[in-house]
Amino acid sequence: MSKRTNVNITTEEAKKQDNIITELAYHIKDKGLTFYIGTFGCQMNALDSEKIEGILVKIGYIKTENEKEADFLIYNTCCVRENAELKIYGKLGALKHRKKKNPNFMIALCGCMMQQDIVLETLKKSYKFVDIIFGTFNIYKLPELLQARIETGEHIIDIWETHEDIVEDLPSIRKHEFKSCVNIMYGCNNFCTYCIVPYVRGRERSRQMEDIYLQVKNLVAEGVKEIMLLGQNVNSYGKNLEDGATFAHLLEKIATIEGLKRIRFMTSHPKDFSDELIECITKHDNICNSIHLPFQSGSTSILKQMNRGYTKEDYLALVNKIKKSIPNVTLTTDIIVGFPGETDKDFSDTIDVVKQVKYLSAFTFIYSKRTGTPAATMENQIDEKTIKVRFNELVNTVDNISSEFMHAQIGQEYEVLLEDTSKNDLDMLSGRTDTGILVHVKAPINFIGEFVKVKIISAKTHYLIAERR
């Protein structure tokens, strides 16, 4: 199978995939075949993996947490940074012997990494043992691809360059019954010079507001208490719709759903963060006072080269407006160190923004050259030694601010939605406040999915310890 463009999804096509699922289920039932999905990258990938899991379970596969014993191994890949791609190649190298030993063991690759021509050529040349390769636009076709592999014995590659329609009615299996992510849009039109996302996820495509509203309403009816609205840039929601819908309009509508306790969203682009959106957040108690607002660099010069569409002063003015309107808001961010041409002064401006804003936390990244992006061919690429020094300074600055904030919370009381057992202490449960602060508290495991009142008794750099009230 080859590359395709602008494919329309019809009702007949959806029925076709359902029929294939039924056929596969007949042949697979009672065989006890297992699957494992390794998910790399963002929350949108995690949501895609839930859909893949839903399809495989419907076919009759059984989920396993043991990657080494799975009969069907799927890697949902990321290509935002080179390191994510190297992880996949490393894993594939280790699987070659396993595939030789057991020809019936199947491997599938999907996700953003697969949308790159250079990756496909590498896989065809050096990793011919991979059974199925598909991309970001055609997850719904997995049953057909799987059937083709089983019936023909051929290696299946099905990558689409673009896809204008949105397919949302796929079976999915959520990790949690009490919270869920919901895609409100796909793709990105910003074309930041360092970013490969628009090339692998396509242009912006917003879902219809009524479809999103009904999905969230149904999730709440099933017991979901917290929703995370997802998009590469949620603030751009509605720009390709003809009804004049905006992200603020969408939030207003969803916030009225009875029983929905919390609404989160990410990611927001500073240049599109409107006064209307700020007003909407202040108006509704169930819209969380936690905003992820990437600034990437504090240097106006670097921001211009990045094609971010705002200056350092613009960003700080927006932050001040948000903090003035939402006094207890917490902000998190993304920061890139070592963008081509970054001077000591440019980096100093980045540190200055971090100190002024005082983020709850930050995702800090070393610039990763992505083939096909404008930044990859820019002059004055920064040497590794300089980047390492700057990166360490940035991480220390962010951590010091976070630690200071966390320790200031001792004695405060919060309401926390308990989400899981603590990774550090199985007697503790972990959850988050409305403002996104991670809290560990001693509680019975059956409290997972419940809201509890807690009092903070101690603090670490990135989380709080509390006792139940």
* pLDDT tens-digit series, residues 225-269: 999 999 999 999 999 898 889 999 999 999 999 999 999 999 999
- ∠ at Cα 114 (113, 120), nearest 5°? 115
- Backbone φ and ψ of 132, nearest 5°: -135, 135
Tens of pLDDT, residue by residue over 124-162, are 999 999 999 999 888 889 999 999 999 998 999 998 876
What are the tokens at 441?
A: 């508290």
**Class in CATH terms, 413-468:** mainly beta
SS3 of residue 97 by DSSP:
helix
CATH number of 11-158: 3.40.50.12160
Sorted by sequence, the CB contacts under 8 Å of residue 429 that are 6+ apart come out as 418, 419, 420, 421, 422, 440, 441, 442, 443, 445, 447, 448
CATH number of 174-288: 3.30.750.210
Number of other CB atoms surrounding residue 385 within 10 Å: 8
Tens of pLDDT, residue by residue over 23-79, are 999 888 888 999 999 999 888 899 999 999 999 999 999 999 999 999 999 999 999
CATH number of 293-404: 3.30.750.200
CB burial of 120-156 (b: ≥16 within 10 Å; e: otherwise) equals: beebeeebebbbbbbbbbbbbbbbbbbbbbeeeeebb
- Which one has a higher pLDDT value, 13 or 78? 78
**Contact of 37 with 52, CB cutoff 8 Å:** yes
What are the tokens at 380?
A: 């004055």
Identical fold between 174-288 and 293-404 = yes
pLDDT at 14: 77
Q: Residue 281's beta-bridge partner residues?
A: none
Of the candidates 358, 310, 365, 360, the one whose C-alpha atom is nearest the C-alpha of residue 342 is 365
pLDDT at 171: 62
**Contact of 77 with 109, CB cutoff 8 Å:** yes
Tens of pLDDT, residue by residue over 415-462, are 999 999 998 888 899 999 999 999 999 999 999 999 999 999 999 999
Q: Residue 108's beta-bridge partner residues?
A: 74, 132
Of the candidates 434, 449, 446, 444, the one whose C-alpha atom is nearest the C-alpha of residue 468 is 444
- Distance, in Å, from the CA atom of 287 to the CA atom of 282, rounded to the nearest integer, reads 8
**Contact of 302 with 259, CB cutoff 8 Å:** no
pTM, two decimal places: 0.87
Instruction: Please give the single-letter amino acid code of residue 135.
Output: G
- Distance, in Å, from the CA atom of 73 to the CA atom of 233, rounded to the nearest integer, reads 31
Sorted by sequence, the CB contacts under 8 Å of residue 412 that are 6+ apart come out as 455, 456
Q: Where are the domains of the chain?
A: 11-158, 174-288, 293-404, 413-468
Question: Any idea what DSSP says for residue 33?
Answer: -
Of the candidates 228, 289, 225, the one whose C-alpha atom is nearest the C-alpha of residue 452 is 225
Instruction: Please give the single-letter amino acid code of residue 59.
Output: I
Lowest mean pLDDT among 280-294, 316-330, 417-431: 417-431
